[in-house]
Chains A and B, each alone.
Chain A
């Protein structure tokens, strides 16, 4: 309950500020080029879960709620308010006078259509699982919608900011069909779609009638440049204005170039070593809690943060991101202590260490190879011989993970599905029967289920604190750190990287 009150106040404050000043005065002008390493597979926001797709989509589409870029709290967007009527019913008041780029008005029908489209099993939307809490969506009047949930659902505000859950135009989608929509998107967002040359570039142009006021930049081009070296060269030669995922070691080159600067901020993604404590992929010494504790003592996380990541990471003692709900600042991490690690291994019956697999995967972890190698180095110093196994393809990695085949230690990372809450990381990794759970117990199941159905935030915090203490004591993970997103920006622009890893180029302005 408390959460929604806070939210209402924020919405009100935002409304007041919003009335006065639009983000930019005057006509949009100029062109900004953004470099991305990969393209997305479709422009239809409901039909993918790709980060690059979300980034592109939210320039063309709007979600019901948005996220405040400073507090990361949900704020009003296409929905002006989300009020609880009773524990399983929510009422949404929608913004008036909003139009899709094709002239179609945005109404309660659009919201119901978008919900129904995602929930329809025939549609095969990959984000359907995130919305199955919703039982039904009913139109009250043109600008009011009621959502009924199966059970009390405390995370509704969080999930309504979800980048993929954008509002789509019912008439347009029905008339043109999904295949056409996937290539010719129409939304209510700050930019209109112009052209998409798959694997090469997406061009969008300012929507001057945008309900928040016209954006400052006339044209945004998202260019696909797979090579990091080429991306940086483009930035320094002025061909690209913003780029994502700058390797920490390149920060100095950009900082001293005189044409661009680095904008880095902490993000939700946390990196940790998950150990197969249950022996789900086969029995290993990791079933012994002493071995898991030894590994926790053996890895020098602080040195990795300082040396490999240039200080751009925040230690997470239990695994919880400090930005997420459920973080308990009282929990302390294991101390780096190789001698103690060796002693624990001796106690567990492995005085000469043992051999174990270390899985890593490409894509999400900054400097993944270097961090993985560093971990191997630390483990080898206490006698644990690591067999590296690297997955170049995320899909294959996750399939192996879900398929109970990921043995030994896994350098995993989790982006919370952009939900700033502990439920988004712990349920899927610790609840029995979940695809990524390699450490389970009855008491953890109980706490997780209780937290998921509790709306009172104080009680939820207590549940998560207890849970975190338990997993630290049992040393299921080696919790490492929360990552930073490191972006580079041309000196011509006012733009900052955002902690939810969504690039809001539409909010950028010229200097």
Chain B
């Protein structure tokens, strides 16, 4: 098991490296920060000065290396407009994003897992069909549209919840529901198919044949085994969740890292873009790693030291 976890850790490090490389490549090679930042009438001397300030006159490899070493020390450079440390800006807003994504995840799972289990158990019944259609419909709904509808209904019409911003737990409800609704359909379908997969396994049939009560079969044997794909999915879904947070934070004026990144992109504040994107991607890698580690505890095959996949 330790070997497996070490292997995953190594893989995660490689992924982090890849993420930093892609981001760096996109912002430094594809786009030229100097052109974006200076007026076109700027003299060559201005260009040289800015390049020198930003360290852009050195070879690309050297730039990437110093970007990497700086990033390791938590230094993503300074915002080009406010002169604040990009890392400090991101850290300041990280709690808001984590709060939103975790709440969104809770809502999403709270809807998706029970419904997924029910529709797997009642396969083919009306409930199952309704859930499946609901999930397909949910996947087809753009979440910003849902977010605005929720604001109109609960804040403007009934005035029971605040329309935007962060503060009390009431402020969290609408954004969390929006984000949860983004997560739920796919998770529900995956839970359902994971559950179906398990329910047709031999040991479940054996357990049933032995006369074990249905409820025990479901919760002790089936759900526990279905938990493995579900946890793996959660790791991956965390990336989607952060993507959904970009839109949710914008609609609800939620002061998180994702909306910071969107704003920075609009103003070409590339140290902040770079910092926010790399940082969020690392959060996803971490979530994936945690999910994998959790799976090793759930899955006896891996616990016994066998590789899987």
* A interface list, Cβ under 8 A from B: 41-42, 179, 197-200, 223-227, 229-230, 233-234, 236-239, 392-393, 395-396, 398-400, 402-405, 435
Q: Which residue of A lies closest to B152 (CB)?
A: A233
Binding site of B, secondary structure by majority: helix, strand, loop or mixed? Answer: loop
Q: A199 to B38, alpha carbons, bound, how many Å?
A: 24
Q: Which residue of B lies closest to A42 (CB)?
A: B82
Do A226 and B162 contact each other (CB < 8 Å), given the known contacts A399-B39, A402-B41, A403-B41? no
One of B82, B156, B159 near A41 (C-beta < 8 A): B82
One of A41, A223, A399 near B165 (C-beta < 8 A): A223
* B interface list, Cβ under 8 A from A: 36, 38-41, 81-84, 89, 92-93, 148, 151-152, 155-156, 159, 162-166, 250-253, 255, 259-260, 263, 266-268
Residues of A within 8 A of B84 (CB): 198
Q: A98 to B53, alpha carbons, bound, how many Å?
A: 42
Q: A398 to B40, alpha carbons, bound, how many Å?
A: 9
Q: A236 to B151, alpha carbons, bound, how many Å?
A: 11
Inter-chain contact A393/B148, CB cutoff 8 Å: no
Inter-chain contact A223/B253, CB cutoff 8 Å: yes
Inter-chain contact A199/B152, CB cutoff 8 Å: no
Inter-chain contact A237/B39, CB cutoff 8 Å: no
Q: A236 to B166, alpha carbons, bound, how many Å?
A: 18
Residues of B within 8 A of A402 (CB): 39-41
**Top 10 closest A-B pairs, CB basis?**
A403-B40, A399-B39, A200-B255, A403-B41, A237-B155, A233-B163, A225-B253, A234-B163, A41-B82, A233-B151
Residues of A within 8 A of B268 (CB): 393, 395-396
Residues of B within 8 A of A199 (CB): 93, 255, 259-260, 263
* Min CB gap A112→B, angstroms: 27
Residues of A within 8 A of B266 (CB): 392-393
Inter-chain contact B253/A230, CB cutoff 8 Å: yes
Inter-chain contact A399/B38, CB cutoff 8 Å: yes
Residues of A within 8 A of B156 (CB): 233, 236-237
Do A239 and B163 contact each other (CB < 8 Å), given the known contacts A233-B156, A399-B40? yes
One of A42, A179, A225, A399 near B41 (C-beta < 8 A): A399
Q: Which residue of B lies closest to A253 (CB)?
A: B156
Q: Which residue of B lies closest to A405 (CB)?
A: B40
Can you spell out 10 A-B residue pairs with CB atoms less than 8 angstroms apart?
A: A198-B92, A199-B259, A230-B151, A230-B253, A233-B151, A233-B155, A236-B155, A237-B155, A238-B159, A402-B39
Q: A42 to B159, alpha carbons, bound, how many Å?
A: 35
Do A233 and B260 contact each other (CB < 8 Å), given the known contacts A197-B255, A396-B36? no
Residues of B within 8 A of A404 (CB): 40-41
